[in-house]
C-alpha cells in the first residue's frame, strides 16, 4: 500500500521483556517520527529521523528506549526491559521534506503495546 505501515498491530509483553516495533514509511519520505500515545491522550513526540540520521531524540522517556533507521527507510523502535508504564500506542509518521520545511505528517495505524 501507499501508506505508513506499522507492525505488529498489537503486542503483549511481560514486564522485563524487550520489544521491537517496526515502521515502514511511505517510499521516498525523508522524515520519520515516532510518537507515544497514552490512553485518552494526544500523541507525544519521541524521536525524529532525517534519512538515517537521528536528529532529535529528546522525547525518549528513558535509556531503555532506542530507535534506529539504518538505511534511511524502515525504522525500529526498541524498548528494553519493558515496564507497565510503557503500555501505550506507538505511532510512526513520515513526511517527504527534511526538517526545516513544515509539512503534514502521514501516520500509520500504530502498535498497541500492553505490558503485563
Partner 1 sequence: AQKVTQAQTEISVVEKEDVTLDCVYETRDTTYYLFWYKQPPSGELVFLIRRNSFDEQNEISGRYSWNFQKSTSSFNFTITASQVVDSAVYFCALSGYNNNDMRFGAGTRLTVKP
Contacts with partner 1 by CB under 8 A lie at 3, 31, 33, 40-45, 48, 55-56, 89, 91, 93, 95, 99-100, 102-110, 112
Q: In which order are the strands placed within the sheet that holds 75-79?
A: 5-7, 19-24, 75-79, 65-68
- Report phi then psi at 85, rounded to 5: -70, -10
- If the CB atoms of residues 82 and 94 are measured against partner 1, the closer one turns out to be 94
Dist. CA 6–CA 102, nearest whole Å: 23
Shortest Å, Cβ 97 to partner 1: 8
Q: What's the min distance (Å) between Cβ of 75 and partner 1?
A: 14
Amino acid at each position: 500500500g501507499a501508506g505508513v505501515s506499522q507492525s505488529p498491530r498489537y503486542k503483549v509483553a511481560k514486564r522485563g521483556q524487550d520489544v521491537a516495533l517496526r515502521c515502514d514509511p511511505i517510499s521516498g519520505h525523508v522524515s520519520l517520527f515516532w510518537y507515544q500515545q497514552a490512553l485518552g491522550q494526544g500523541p507525544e513526540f519521541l524521536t525524529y529521523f532525517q534519512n538515517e540520521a537521528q536528529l532529535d531524540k529528546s522525547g525518549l522517556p528513558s535509556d531503555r528506549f532506542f530507535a534506529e533507521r539504518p538505511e534511511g527507510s524502515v525504522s525500529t523502535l526498541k524498548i528494553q526491559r519493558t515496564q507497565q508504564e510503557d503500555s501505550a500506542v506507538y505511532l510512526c509518521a513520515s513526511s517527504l521534506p527534511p526538517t526545516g520545511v513544515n509539512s503534514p505528517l502521514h501516520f500509520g495505524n500504530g502498535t498497541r503495546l500492553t505490558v503485563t
